[in-house]
């Protein structure tokens, strides 16, 4: 019985670690994507260091240089970045 509890606790801990790792990988990918979008739009941003989701396809990105942009899709379906 004790062994069963230990195995269950180990599996639960492993699952929690893996879920956290997947979420961190998704966050890293989002930050890189937002950096690329802002740079492709010709705006100054060397690296996005944090992002807050406002809605589907709508984020507020903070660059390492301190500038914040709202990155979203406009009604025509084009990506827009507005300085905040």
51 vs 62: CA distance, rounded Å: 6
Phi and psi angles of residue 53, each rounded to the nearest 5 degrees, phi first? -80, 125
E runs forming strands in 1-67: 48-55, 58-63
Predicted confidence (pLDDT) at residue 75 exceeds the cutoff of 60:
yes
Q: Which tens digits make up the pLDDT trace of 40-73?
A: 999 999 999 999 999 888 999 999 999 999 999 9
Q: What pTM value is reported for the model? A: 0.70
Domain boundaries, the chain: 2-83
């Amino acid at each position: 019985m004790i062994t069963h509890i230990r195995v269950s606790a180990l599996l639960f801990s492993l699952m929690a670690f893996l879920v956290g790792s997947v979420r961190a990988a998704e966050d890293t990918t989002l930050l890189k994507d937002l950096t690329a979008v802002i740079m492709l739009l010709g705006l100054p941003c060397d690296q996005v260091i944090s992002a807050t989701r406002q809605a589907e396809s709508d984020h507020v990105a903070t660059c390492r240089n301190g500038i914040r942009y709202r990155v979203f899709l406009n009604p025509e379906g084009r990506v827009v970045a507005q300085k905040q």
